[in-house]
Amino acid sequence: KRKTMKDKYRVKELTRTESGQLRYRYISFSERIGRVSVDVYRLDPTKQTRDAPHEPYQSWIEERLEHWRLTDSTAYFSAFRREVHPLTRSLPQVLHSQRKIIDMILTHLAIPNTTAHEPLLDLLTALCRDLRFQIYPHFPRILRGQLAILDEQDPDLLEHLFRSIGFIFKYLQKQLLRDLDRVIVLYGSLLVHEKEYVRLFAAESYAYLLRRCSDETLE
């Protein structure tokens, strides 16, 4: 039987049968898409309820970089960390080096077949959380870099990607709500994407901004 693109991303999960036995079964592409959650109202992947990073970290990106150092030992992420770590040892340093850090993240995101999409997208979110309005001039480049890696056949990547975008919308909401026309120009193609589930994920992430729009803004 010829393998399809969806077969490439099939995964197994351990389940318990009616008789109590454990066995593996394949999860269909549709099942995996149905499990994707990108609503930032329900997600708390980087302890969003905290006001500041845990000590001794001075920035969110420094804290998340350490988290991923402990949980991702792949060559792809290790190479990235070696490059970026010297630039993230203090919040003033992060602010001063933001262009370089963004360049590094987007460059590594674009590496073919990288296994580091999840940590890189998470770190991009953390960087926006650290710098807020100060990073906004780079927002178009950040969003274009994220959308460039979209793979409609990869449910895991879709979840990581749209979660990252949704949280960036959250952290930059003050600037974005004054600049919705630009957001639509950059993001509008996903809201009319040919795949219904891509449209849904895009709409869920964009909904965070719409919920905060005044009636005057929407008009």
Residues 35-61 pLDDT 10s: 888 888 776 544 456 777 887 888 999
Q: Residue 26 has what pLDDT?
A: 72
Sign of the torsion angle spanned by Cα atoms 178, 186, 156, 60: negative
CB contact burial 145-179 (16+ within 10 A = b; e otherwise): bbeebbeeebbebbbbbbbbbbbbbbbbbeebbee
Average pLDDT of every residue of the chain: 86
pLDDT band per the 50, 70, 90 thresholds, residue 25: low
Please state, in angstroms and rounded to a whole number, the distance separating the CA atoms of residues 182 and 94: 26
pLDDT at 92 over 70: yes
Mean pLDDT to the nearest integer, 54-83: 94
pLDDT value at 206 more than 80 = yes
State the pLDDT at residue 67: 95
Query: String of b and e for 12-27 (b: at least 16 CB within 10 Å)?
Result: eeeeeeeeeeeeeeeb
pLDDT of 102 reads 98
Mean pLDDT within 71-97: 96
pTM: predicted TM-score of the whole model, two decimal places: 0.85
